[in-house]
Amino acid sequence: MPTNFTVVPVEAQGGERDSAERDAWRQEEEEEDNRDRSCGDGVSRESSPFINSAEMDRGNMYEGKNMALFEEEMDSNPMVSSLLNKLANYTNVTQGVVEHEADEDSKRKEVKVPRMGTFIGVYLPCLQNILGVILFLRLTWIVGTAGVLESFIIVFMCCACTMLTAISMSAIATNGVVPAGGSYYMISRSLGPEFGGAVGLCFYLGTTFAGAMYILGTIEILLTYISPSAAIFKAEEVGEETEAMLNNMRVYGTCIIILMAIVVFVGVKYVNKLALVFLACVILSIIAIYAGVIKTAIDPPDFPICLLGNRTLSKRSFDVCAKFTERNNETKTTNLWLLFCNSSLPTAMCDDYFSLNNVTEIQGIPGILSGVLIDNLWSTYSEKGSIVEKKSQPSISGSEDIKIGGRPYVFTDIMTYFTVLVGIYFPSVTGIMAGSNRSGDLKDAQKSIPTGTILAISTTSFIYLSCIVLFGACIEGVVLRDKFGEAVDGNLVVGTLAWPSPWVIVIGSFFSTCGAGLQSLTGAPRLLQAIARDGIVPFIQVFGHGKANGEPTWALLLTAAICEIGILIASLDNVAPILSMFFLMCYMFVNLACAVQTLLRTPNWRPRFKYYHWTLSFLGMSLCLALMFICSWYYALIAMLIAGCIYKYIEYRGAEKEWGDGIRGLSLNAARYALLRVEDGPPHTKNWRPQLLVLLNLDCEQLVKHPRLLSFTSQLKAGKGLTIVGSVLQGTYLDRCVETQKAEENVKALMGVEKTKGFCQIVVSPSFRDGISHLIQSAGLGGMKHNTVLMAWPQSWKQTENHFSWKNFVDTVRETTAAQQALLVAKNIDLFPTNQERFTEGNIDIWWIVHDGGMLMLLPFLLRQHKVWRKCKMRIFTVAQMDDNSIQMKKDLQMFLYHLRLNAEVEVVEMFENDISAFTYEKTLMMEQRSQMLKQMQLSKNEREREAQLIHDRNTASRSAPAVKASVAAAMPEKVQMTWTKEKFVAEKHKNKDTNVSGFKDIFSMKPNQSNVRRMHTAVKLNGVVLNKSQHAQLVLLNMPGPPKNRKGDENYMEFLEVLTEGLDRVLLVRGSGREVITIYS
């Protein structure tokens, strides 16, 4: 079924619609559609490539009437047939689907139908990447040094690690389509951008250092086994061979890196075409090894080893393995004699050990039936520079005055022990990701990746394990421990075993290491390019660019530069543990990703590969971590530090990505678990901290009126505990959903600027008062609810048109008290400091009038944790009455603060009873007169509104039918059933006027209420005392008196608070929740 339609409009029979009317109708329709799309049911549409019909014309989509019921849905949701058609043809689907791999606006081009199966696409690439340089250059040495048993353990551990990782990788790879990117894609989409970026870069570094290792292996084969004369640096003195070799490695390595980078830059397609040739070299070499093992059972090759006592001699310096030779019936000394003696005469002064021990010759490869396996079972670890010895051979030790270093012995070049060998060997089992990296080219990736990868690991594991046993059973131990084949005429040790010739192995390993190096230099830049294009690590985004055809030029240059670092290290044995770390870290996180997804049981976790379990993934992860520290604990720590730094950098500076990753799911699960564990009730006093609900006022543009309230919040919280920032919009949600989203964005943006960590909650309510009530009641979840409300003092409360009127404020005070929540009211909030300000001096003054559970003590302590208030001093004032002992009060308060572990100055202020002043009496009178006048004005306003309503009802009734008028008149109350005449209207008006005049006369003749006079007296007196002591304080904290029980005095209550805080710059009125929030006990 086609997905696009073109409908030709047909003129109506009744004539053509007027163009202006048609345009107006169309504009109205578009406005209605936009409104439906923006708000609708209040749920924003999910951005998805499958829900993408913006380009389709609305009116042209539905010719038939079969789906008329779903026309509204089809504006944004495609028909099933259309969706399936897009999925089947891979069209109109951006790479990575919802994950937005490519630009969301661009369309994915149609791709060629993949043709590669399991064998060609996964099995052979994995085989080529796993079998490599270590097998040919180091495996025999590992077997000889660690012994067959410990070598078997090393190989088994490493192969088990990769097998468990392959199982986890198979589960992830078969859980949906895996585009190009391989392991990086899998980890980042399973564990999130932070882990994905960190591990992706580690995997990139591992692949890059692997390239360096392969290049070093290539040079070692070239200079040691193919053409030793090609060396630029020669050893001038005995013992300088190693240093000369390293310098040769550096020079040749740099040249080869430049050459390989040019090859990759110019013709990467030729590298891919040659991959099968390189693989054929590897397979032929392995076949030659097995053929050589079989031949040793029939006819062992002749590779004699020369021993002096039990010490192995290097045959590079002499040809005959003997002290004397018979020539023409004469006994003559050999070249070996000259190496140990000061002349060629038989009476010459010789080395003591040389004189005491005989020179013997043994077969280097005695064969599989010789029983040499028993001798090679156990390890023979040694120090650096020690001589390779055959322990079972008789030897007499002598006093050696002359340096051993100048003798033609075979020496060990590094100190060997178990963990070093693990680090050197592990790179030989890497390369298991080769199949998943080609997932886009496979015919059926979800079937091929698990099958091919696991088969390849099984094959290579069998090859490695069998080679260990066969090497130990066929080759003499001293030859195995001879890393560079010096005892066998400079031949490659594994080559001596091969059939038909050692050159099969030498040439095969040379080409295979060349090919592996080229593959690393080809793959690593593309991996870096994929990470850079994701945009999660800002500083590497430049490496996402390349040539016009997409080749990663800049990434290739960086890869070559990092590869050069490995070349400058120059020792294959030192480079191998570095890349082991990075690969092990990558494998560890693949296992972690599988374990997390399995344990979370997210609905989207439905892998086709069923043979996995979270315990296997966890075991693989633990094994990877153990191997990291076994290989090299300091390299492991450095690798983890690098990954940690990248993680924190992405978290701090990286782009926000929502990939539906497992870490987000893990966070949700952990949050749910924690919320269920938190008791739904007040915490213990020791754990109490202010969990704030911050009530903000917004202007008509949905911007925050008092941003300093959020500054004060962050200063008070210092990022700890719960913060909910709430605000109320008046109206209905359907009408104001757009304003709600805008308000939420503005508040969140301001929270980010002010570094206020918390949640934003915007409530739409028919009345402002009800919205605040809803917030106080319902904000938070379970045990994570606020216990303190922070709000700004309504500065313009005396203005009747003020949105946040004094009635709302007083009702909020009452509701927080009823909900047993503390209340903080910041007066003159715009004078409070920003987060960038710093008070270098000053005081935070606490006026402790009544005990509020310790809130007044705790808040200044929390404030002083922030940089703004850190240098301010705490001063506590309390008021003594007539009967109080002020001296004793001060001592008790100081002791109380000592037990609370708070440092503060203490002062007791004495307030004696005295007569109420005329000023207080007059202020109370003015307050009550104003209140009464407002009531009268409100009453008259209500009456005027009622009169206007009555006139409106009369006019409406006069236009009705007589029958209707009669029925309405019968149904109305008596006072509405009146006939308005001009005389009656004038009389009623004068009556109201007389009433109002008499009311105003009563106002001016009234006397103040005695209770109000006493309250005003307290406010005036206390304000005078506070001003006297704290007028220049940076912040004043005061007990906030509760509102009156009688609601008629609410406005007077506001006046009392105004008088109490008059003349102070920054005031925080504090009302406790009725429970203790601070304790002297530990």
Sheet holding 359-363, edge to edge: 311-312, 304-308, 359-363
What would the two tokens of residue 498 be?
């091969």
What would the two tokens of residue 55 be?
């380009």
Arithmetic mean of pLDDT, 684-703:
83
pLDDT at 102: 41
pLDDT at 44: 42
Cβ atoms of 133 and 516 within 8 Å: the answer is yes
Q: Please say if the pLDDT value at position 1002 is more than 60.
A: no
Cβ atoms of 721 and 727 within 8 Å: the answer is no
Helix spans in 118-192 (H) = 118, 124-130, 133-137, 139-173, 182-191
Confidence of residue 856 (pLDDT cuts 50, 70, 90): confident
Residues 154-165: tens digit of each pLDDT: 999 999 999 999
Confidence of residue 440 (pLDDT cuts 50, 70, 90): low
pLDDT at 539: 81
Arithmetic mean of pLDDT, 727-738:
92
Distance CA 135, CA 513 (A): 11
Q: How big is the chain, counted in residues?
A: 1082
Q: How far is CA 899 from the centre of its chain?
A: 43
DSSP code, position 391: T
Residue 561 CB neighbours (<10 A) = 12
Q: Quick one: which of 631, 581, 582 has its CA closest to 204?
A: 582
pLDDT at 744: 93
Residue 901 CB neighbours (<10 A) = 9
Percent helix, strand, coil in the chain, to 5, is 55, 10, 35
Confidence of residue 701 (pLDDT cuts 50, 70, 90): confident
Bridge partners (DSSP) listed for residue 910:
880
pLDDT at 1000: 44
Confidence of residue 950 (pLDDT cuts 50, 70, 90): low
pLDDT at 237: 66
Q: Please say if the pLDDT value at position 838 is more than 50.
A: yes
Q: Quick one: which of 554, 504, 567, 499 has its CA closest to 524?
A: 554
Residue 194 CB neighbours (<10 A) = 21
Distance CA 928, CA 922 (A): 10
Q: Quick one: which of 188, 195, 135, 183 has its CA closest to 159?
A: 135
Residues 9-39: tens digit of each pLDDT: 444 444 444 555 555 545 555 555 554 444 4
Give the 3-state secondary structure of residue 100. coil
Cβ atoms of 395 and 310 within 8 Å: the answer is yes
Task: Say which amino acid occupies 636.
Answer: A
Confidence of residue 808 (pLDDT cuts 50, 70, 90): confident
Distance CA 1073, CA 690 (A): 11
pLDDT at 914: 60
Confidence of residue 7 (pLDDT cuts 50, 70, 90): very low
Q: Computed from CA positions of residues 502, 508, 514, 517, in that sequence, does the dihedral angle turn out positive or negative?
A: negative
For residue 176, which phi and psi values (nearest 5 degrees)?
Answer: 105, 180
Q: What per-residue string of b and e applies to 902-927 under the rule 16 or more CB within 10 Å gives b?
A: bebebebeeeeeeeeeeebeebbbeb
Q: Please say if the pLDDT value at position 906 is more than 70.
A: yes
